[in-house]
Structure 1
Amino acid sequence: MKKFLLFIAGLVALTVLLANLGPMILLGVSVWLLYVVFKQFMKTDSTAGKIGWVVLGLIILSVAVSNIYAVLGLAAAYGLYLIYKSWTSKKESVVVESDDPFTNFERQWADLHK
């Protein structure tokens, strides 16, 4: 049952990721453009040039804010990663605790040296 629920959660996360792939790409491009505009703003010495770069930066910032749904796509990608990790994780063997102190000591010593 756990594998089935993980499969359904994976399908939902994949659907959300694919639905938000466009905004994710546009958000990445707009953040990169904001970086370029900031670098050009810092290089410019004239006041008119700085005003122009600020206006362009505000326009690009509005594009970036409009693609805020890309955060849902990033969360879905992280969810897919967690689902994949739990799907492929190996089952831990259950160790039966005994009253013998040397058995527990040897197990703990082996755990320390892994």
Structure 2
Amino acid sequence: MKKIGLFILGAVAAIIAFANLGPMIGLAISLVVLYYSVKQFTKTDQTSKKVLWAVVGFIALCVAASNVPAILGLAALYILYIVYKEWKKEDNVQSPPPEDEDPFTNFEREWAELNRN
């Protein structure tokens, strides 16, 4: 039953991530432009170039702010990651060793025999 719930959650998260793929790409591009403009703004000494990079940075900030649905897409990608980890964790669960292979049971048996002699 848990696998069905994980599958449904993963499917919904995948649909949401795919639907918000455009805004996520737009957000990534605008953040790269914003980073580059801030780096260039701090490097330059001329006032005209500082004004130019400030305007470019402001426009990139506005574009990044307009891609708010990308946050939903990022959250959906994170949920997909969590579902994947839970799915894999369930597959790796091992059953307890049989009684004959349990080292503590063998130890107790051997200890009891040593105490008898």
Confirm whether residue 45 of structure 1 aligns to residue 45 of structure 2: yes
Confirm whether residue 86 of structure 1 aligns to residue 86 of structure 2: yes
Q: What SS does the corresponding residue of 2:10 show, helix, strand or coil?
A: helix
Superposed displacement of residue 56, structure 1:
1.4
Superposed displacement of residue 92, structure 1:
4.2
Instruction: Tell me how far apart the structure 1 counterparts of residues 73 and 43 of structure 2 sit (CA, whole Å).
Output: 35
Confirm whether residue 67 of structure 1 aligns to residue 50 of structure 2: no
Superposed displacement of residue 17, structure 1:
0.5
Instruction: Tell me how far apart the structure 1 counterparts of residues 81 and 60 of structure 2 sit (CA, whole Å).
Output: 31
Instruction: Tell me how far apart the structure 1 counterparts of residues 88 and 40 of structure 2 sit (CA, whole Å).
Output: 47
Name the structure with the higher helix share: 2
Instruction: Tell me how far apart the structure 2 counterparts of residues 85 and 46 of structure 1 sit (CA, whole Å).
Output: 51
Instruction: Tell me how far apart the structure 1 counterparts of residues 96 and 78 of structure 2 sit (CA, whole Å).
Output: 29
Superposed displacement of residue 94, structure 1:
5.2
Higher deviation after alignment, 46-55 or 17-26: 46-55
Superposed displacement of residue 6, structure 1:
0.9
Instruction: Tell me how far apart the structure 1 counterparts of residues 53 and 79 of structure 2 sit (CA, whole Å).
Output: 38
Q: Which residue of 2 aligns with 1:32?
A: 32
Superposed displacement of residue 3, structure 1:
1.1
Q: How many percent identity over aligned positions?
A: 51
Task: Show structure 2 runs of 5+ residues with no match.
Answer: 98-102, 108-117
Q: What SS does the corresponding residue of 1:84 show, helix, strand or coil?
A: helix
Superposed displacement of residue 68, structure 1:
2.0
Instruction: Tell me how far apart the structure 1 counterparts of residues 10 and 42 of structure 2 sit (CA, whole Å).
Output: 44
Q: Which has the larger radius of gyration?
A: 2
Task: Show structure 1 runs of 5+ residues with no match.
Answer: 96-101, 107-114
Superposed displacement of residue 81, structure 1:
1.1
Instruction: Tell me how far apart the structure 1 counterparts of residues 67 and 49 of structure 2 sit (CA, whole Å).
Output: 27
Q: Which residue of 1 aligns with 2:104?
A: 103
Name the TM-score, length of structure 2 as normaliser: 0.75
Superposed displacement of residue 24, structure 1:
0.8
CA RMSD of aligned residues (A): 2.1
Q: Which residue of 2 aligns with 1:56?
A: 56
